[in-house]
Amino acid sequence: MNPNKNKAQTKAQAKTKIPNKAKAKTKTTPTQPLSVDNLAAATSVPPVKSLRTSDSIESMLKLSGNDISSGRYRILLYRFLTDNVPVVNACVWTWTRLAAAPGKFRVAEGADKAIARKTEDRLENLMDNVYQTGAGGSSSEMGFLVDLFAGLFRDGMFSGFLTVKKDGSGVDRFLPLETTRVMMDNDSGKLRLIYEYDGRMYNLDRPDFYHLNLSNSSDDPLGRSILKAVPMVSYIEQQLVDDMRRATHNSGYHRLHVKVTPPERIAGESDSAYTDRINRYFDSTVSMIRSCDVDDNPVTWDNVSVEYIGPEGSRSVTNSWFQNHRSMIEEICAGTNLAPFLLGYSYGATTTWSSFKFDMVMRQVRSVQAQVVRFLEWIARVDLALAGIDSKVRYEFDNTFPYQATDKAAIMTSRVDNIIKLYEAGLIDKETATTQAGETL
């Protein structure tokens, strides 16, 4: 056969059908009206007749095996970096633990003490059972907050559905969504959140859905992960660690180069006899060197020399690697708005600079906590309205640290002393002094 007459056959490419978002519709099932008629007024949310039980929501939240669509790779990359790069994991872990401080619901002042106590106990029990672990059991309030803040800092967002009990007596659970499937849709001319599952798009513009995002902007309307600036730097850092690992494997352990000079040839010795003799001498020398214990000394003729193989300036090589790795660590910390000392690295930072940086970090923590406070208070308002309890509550995080107790007490004492001096000097009246003292304490 003439090969010039053969024609290359082209492979048919599989066509992927893109679901029509405009025609996608959300499945709805009839639901029973809630027992509280005026729920909208009590919770400051639209009518919530579409609130459902956990069973009716969970079927929609199961993940499918579809390929990753455009944009999801970022969140998956952030999760991979968090799970596999120690310094990135430490950044997310530190932000999460700083933000997930202990907290508690408090009833507004002026409420009846018995009702206030009943309300706080109810909400405390709610927070201990509102979140379900992956194993199916209920997580504590702290576990819920840790997962919530971890999702915010790592993925840039956290969202899910609030479900009610079957008898409508209160909130049942909060079911988080897989954030890689939450997307923005603009086909209708208006930005809206949608959830993609099994090729279908579900509209998330509904009263039982809540979405939190971190540092959202026009470029990142869904939220901006703190890891957005570090993937390239973390790759360089890991490459540097791998290079050091290989270099240490080769030069970190002492190696000996044993040189054996062949003995001189005896007069009248044949070539084969000479070759056999020097080979036996070589093999016996190698066996002797290999069989030497740590406390043994090799004994040979002076035609055997032993040399050490390794880098000449091992200290300078190590210091150079340390400086390069330190630069990468600082770049990753800068990308996540942290400082090396917050991750356990000690680079000789001054106390003043460390205190300033820590205060900046805590300001960011409090701003993120403010979003979570609104979310938790939304859950509380819905639950209290369903239970018919008319109470105003607020959620407070306790961001105090034991080592700061002395400094905080000194600041409060100084403020109270200044208030007393102003009152004694007649610059403020008693009512103003009492108000300022109460705010200080």
Higher pLDDT, 247 or 9: 247
Q: What is the mean pLDDT of residues 261-275?
A: 89
Confidence at 199, pLDDT banded by 50, 70, 90? confident
Q: Which two tokens stand for residue 178?
A: 């897989």
Higher pLDDT, 122 or 192: 122
Q: What is the mean pLDDT of residues 54-70?
A: 50
User: Is residue 107's pLDDT more than 70?
Assistant: yes
Higher pLDDT, 204 or 15: 204
Dihedral sign from CA coordinates of 280, 286, 290, 296? positive
Residue 70's alpha-carbon distances to 1, 34, 106, 224, 428, in angstroms, are 47, 39, 43, 16, 63
H/E run at residue 164 = strand 157-164
CB 214 within 8 A of CB 157: yes
Q: What is the mean pLDDT of residues 187-195?
A: 77
- Residue among 201, 219, 28, 200 at smallest CA distance from 192: 201
Write the DSSP assignment of 218-242 as a string of letters. Answer: SS-TT---TTTT-HHHHHHHHHHHH
User: Is residue 59's pLDDT more than 60?
Assistant: no
The fraction of the chain above a pLDDT of 90, given in percent, is 17
Burial class (CB in 10 A: 0-12, 13-18, 19+), 34: middle
Q: Which two tokens stand for residue 95?
A: 């932000």
| Among 16-25, 163-172, 175-184, the least confident range | 16-25
CB 377 within 8 A of CB 367: no
Confidence at 17, pLDDT banded by 50, 70, 90? very low
Higher pLDDT, 354 or 81: 81
**3-class secondary structure, 182:** strand
Residue 235 one-letter amino acid: Y
Q: Which two tokens stand for residue 151?
A: 């999702």
Confidence at 238, pLDDT banded by 50, 70, 90? confident
The pLDDT of residue 54 is 65
User: Is residue 62's pLDDT more than 80?
Assistant: no
Residues 238-252, buried b or exposed e (16+ Cβ, 10 A)? beeeeebeeeeeeee
Domain ranges of the chain: 28-229, 255-309, 401-441
User: Is residue 44's pLDDT more than 50?
Assistant: no
The pLDDT of residue 8 is 41
User: Is residue 403's pLDDT more than 70?
Assistant: no
Encode pLDDT of 317-348 as tens digits. Answer: 556 666 777 777 777 777 777 777 677 666 66
CB 102 within 8 A of CB 114: no
Which residue carries 């003043």 as its tokens?
Answer: 352
Distance CA 299, CA 317 (A): 35
Residues 390-401, buried b or exposed e (16+ Cβ, 10 A)? ebebebebeeee
The pLDDT of residue 358 is 80
The pLDDT of residue 306 is 79
Contacts of 259 (CB under 8 A, 6+ apart): 304, 305, 306, 307
Distance CA 152, CA 222 (A): 11
CB 177 within 8 A of CB 195: yes
| Among 193-202, 311-320, 368-377, the least confident range | 311-320
Distance CA 318, CA 322 (A): 6
Confidence at 232, pLDDT banded by 50, 70, 90? confident
User: Is residue 137's pLDDT more than 70?
Assistant: no
User: Is residue 19's pLDDT more than 60?
Assistant: no
Confidence at 139, pLDDT banded by 50, 70, 90? confident
CB 183 within 8 A of CB 159: no
Higher pLDDT, 12 or 310: 310
Residue 36 CA to chain centroid, in angstroms? 39
Which residue carries 């509904």 as its tokens?
Answer: 206
The pLDDT of residue 18 is 38
Confidence at 312, pLDDT banded by 50, 70, 90? low
Average pLDDT, rounded, for the chain: 76
- Residue among 132, 128, 166 at smallest CA distance from 51: 166
The pLDDT of residue 318 is 55
| Among 146-155, 262-271, 300-309, the least confident range | 300-309
Burial class (CB in 10 A: 0-12, 13-18, 19+), 430: exposed
The pLDDT of residue 32 is 42
**3-class secondary structure, 33:** coil
Higher pLDDT, 306 or 395: 395
Start-to-end CA distance of the chain, whole Å, equals 98
Higher pLDDT, 251 or 286: 286
The fraction of the chain above a pLDDT of 70, given in percent, is 70
Return the ∠ at Cα 48 (arms to 42 and 397), rounded to 5°.
55
Higher pLDDT, 207 or 322: 207
CB 246 within 8 A of CB 88: no
Higher pLDDT, 39 or 395: 395
Confidence at 146, pLDDT banded by 50, 70, 90? very high
- Residue among 55, 45, 46, 51 at smallest CA distance from 169: 51
